[in-house]
A and B are shown apart, each in its own frame.
Chain A
Amino acid sequence: MGAAIEVHGLIKSYGTTRAVDGIEFSVPVGQVFAFLGPNGAGKTTTTEILEGLRPRTGGEVRVLGLDPWTEGARLHRRIGVIPQEFHFFEKIHPREAIEYYGALFGLRPDPRTLLERVHLTDKADAKFDTLSGGQKQKLGLALALVNNPEICFLDEPTTGLDPQARRAIWEVIQALRAEGRTVFLTTHYLEEAELLADQVAIIHRGRIIVHGPPAAIVAAHGRPDRLRFDGGPEIAAVLRRETPLSVSLRDHEVDVELGVPADARRVFAALERAGVPWERFRIERDTLEEVFVRLVGRMDDGVLKGEAAP
């Protein structure tokens, strides 16, 4: 499989500030790629450059083998885009919007099928300005699919939506992937990226600080798994005495860091030998969100302390 999106040394400057500072990545055809980063990190700028909405200052960008800025007209027939905070003409109904997009692309899409895909059939004939935020995003998604796109660009498609609407959008994204389409997704919700994405890239201050499959990123940058017991100082004391593992106590919770999964056996054996009663335990594992917060936070600290960024 070739690359749907290829980015080499992409630079975007606004005056003297570099919003995007030499980033590199590629998205294989058929994968869901999540592009993450705090506000102002360069996410939307990069996305808009890929969509052909903004020119770049430097570097190479190929989307489906085309230059998005100079070959936008050809590219736009093959991609679908939901911009951040999707808007449409206030008094127009979703069914009419789909027919309109169809006419613009020279196609005759079936509005019913598309609205079914995004679970919006019940609002097919409601004015756009009467739709809820989630319903508006669903229409945006339906419109992005009118031209049967090879790549879907979804810029924060679930921001501000209730959990149910968010789940509905996730389902659509998973279906897109199952159909072999490439999805380029930006989001603030790390659990969304973890659930949907084959690959994520985290951008911060215009640079990509980490890139790879979510599980690999958590494994490489997360803390070790921890056993967490509900209990007091007694348990902590036993474990400190009986095992070489790192133990911490806080608010009636005891955390034991596991170097390898088999360390769990040593923990339970030690408690058994000491005859200390324990009621409940669970395994704590870093999520992508925790990794994200730590990586971004560490970088910000470094910058604040005047150290060189990694």
Chain B
Amino acid sequence: MNARRIGADLLLTARGYVRSGIGLFFSLVFPVILIALFGLIFSTGSSPPTLYVANADHNSAASEALLAALNGTGAVHVQFVEGQTAAGFSAYLGRQQDSIGLLIPSGFGDAYANGTPFNLSLYVNPGDAAAAGAAEGALEAAVNELNLAHARAVPTVGAAVYQIGGVSYSYIDYLVPGLIGFSILTSPMFAMVDVTSSYRKEGLFRQLSLTPLSRAEWLTAKILWYTLLTLVSAALMIGMGYLFFGARLQITASILPFLVLGPFLFVSLGMLAGSVAKTPESAAIIGNIITFPMMFLSGTFFPVSSFSPPLQSFAHLLPLYYIIDGLEAVMLYGNTGRAVLDLAVVAVIAVVIFLAAIVAFRWRET
């Protein structure tokens, strides 16, 4: 390994990369756009969903009490709908954008006064699980209040909700490590798959084989370049998260090993994929087959804990999962033990893939 040769190749790589523009866009600008986009979507304080209420039990004390209790939960915004029958209400809701609705059938007040069991009808749209959940929760709380009042009882058990670690994390806090992982994966993978297969097709590797530059030196220069890009893009994303979206992240030197090992792993993986493919076209397909599942299932946009158990097991097979998990351990929870474990997994995978890439990658034909 010769530092001058690595330096010369690094300089050449940087020049080509910066001049072509497209790579720079995907490695630096695109992650920032993603942060801004997702940050804006999820950080604007969302207002409670609208609950359409059709009250067929006009002016009974019980229905007034129920609506007051519903309002009191603050989980839904009550909007009255006039002149709806039970049959027409569902259709009416179907025409609304936010389709959750409550039908209070006539006779509710009498039933409540007499203590006869009685059902209220709640209409929800399974497609909008968040609104449905809010409506069900609010109604259950309101109905409980009425039941307790009817029984003249006093609640004995209460619950106070606290968030883990004494800090409440918002989506943006998870998004920053997730998207750093996203850019660690995509920017070297897509570029290296393309470079490895097209340079071979154009005979550029054969040409380089006629110089003293070695394959390991060439690969080292690429790893250095993508590490540099990753450091810059991670700094940009953390800065964006901090400045514009109030992300609460612990910035420590422990982030760095992930920002170095990550590009090391995916530069090697990209070169491996590009080397085993016969043509640039098949290389792109192999690259996509590797990249896309990892891009979505490693905790980049959605936390892995929200997946079904089989999908979680699958996520644990993906190298990027350990990078994002480790970044979260460092940046959110300050869980050093977990971060070290993740780092060890990433290091082992990276070394294995690097060696495989060196073996599979040939300058010249045999």
Where the two chains meet, the residues of A that have a C-beta atom closer than 8 Å to any C-beta of B are: 51-55, 72-73, 76-77, 79, 81, 83, 85-92, 96, 99-101, 103-106, 127
Contact = CB atoms under 8 A, between A and B. Distances in A.
Nearest to B6: A103
B212 A89 contact: no
A88 B211 CA distance: 14
B12 A100 contact: yes
Contact of A54 (B207, B211, B364): B364
B8 A87 contact: no
B366 to A, nearest CB: 6
Given A83-B206, A89-B16, 13 more contacts: A51-B210, A76-B210, A83-B207, A88-B207, A91-B16, A92-B15, A96-B12, A99-B8, A100-B8, A100-B11, A104-B5, A104-B211, A105-B212
A54 B365 contact: yes
A91 B20 CA distance: 7
Given A104-B5, A106-B4, A89 B204 contact: yes
Nearest to A146: B211
A127 B18 CA distance: 13
Interface in B192-233: 202-204, 206-207, 209-213
A89 B211 contact: no
Interface string B1-35: 01011011101100110011000000000000000
B206 A90 contact: no
B153 to A, nearest CB: 77
A87 B207 contact: yes
Contacts, number: 69
A91 B11 CA distance: 12
The 10 closest A-B pairs by CB, nearest first: A103-B8, A91-B19, A104-B211, A87-B202, A91-B16, A104-B213, A53-B364, A89-B16, A76-B210, A81-B210
A105 B365 contact: no
A104 B8 contact: yes
Contacts of B16: 89-92
22 contacts: A51-B210, A52-B210, A52-B364, A53-B206, A53-B364, A53-B365, A54-B365, A72-B209, A76-B209, A76-B211, A81-B207, A83-B207, A88-B204, A90-B20, A96-B12, A100-B8, A100-B11, A103-B4, A103-B5, A103-B7, A104-B9, A105-B211
A34 B212 CA distance: 27
Given A55-B366, A103-B4, A127 B19 contact: yes
Nearest to B366: A55
Contacts of A53: 206, 209-210, 364-365
Interface of B: 2, 4-5, 7-9, 11-12, 15-16, 19-20, 202-204, 206-207, 209-213, 364-366
Given A54-B364, A54-B365, A83-B207, A91 B212 contact: no
Contacts of A85: 203
Nearest to B7: A103
Contacts of B364: 52-54
A83 B363 CA distance: 14
B75 to A, nearest CB: 57
B4 to A, nearest CB: 5
Contacts of B20: 90-91
Contacts of B211: 76, 101, 104-105
Contacts of B8: 99-100, 103-104
Contacts of A86: 207
Contact of B203 (A52, A73, A83): A83
A127 B366 CA distance: 33
Contacts of B202: 87
A127 B16 CA distance: 10
B195 to A, nearest CB: 10
B204 A104 contact: no
Given A87-B202, A89-B204, A90-B20, A106 B212 contact: yes
Contacts of B9: 100, 104
B204 A87 contact: yes
Contacts of B7: 103
A72 B9 CA distance: 21
A92 B12 contact: yes
B178 to A, nearest CB: 32
Contacts of B12: 89, 92, 96, 100
Nearest to B195: A89
B365 A96 contact: no
A86 B8 CA distance: 21
Nearest to B8: A103
A2 to B, nearest CB: 23
Nearest to B21: A91
B20 to A, nearest CB: 5
Most buried by A among B2, B7, B206: B206
Contacts of A90: 16, 20
B202 to A, nearest CB: 4
A148 to B, nearest CB: 14
Contact of A87 (B4, B5, B203, B210): B203
A103 B20 CA distance: 23
Most buried by B among A76, A90, A100, A127: A100
A87 B207 CA distance: 9
Contacts of A106: 2, 4, 212
Contacts of B204: 87-89
B222 to A, nearest CB: 13
Contacts of A89: 12, 16, 204
Contacts of A105: 211-212
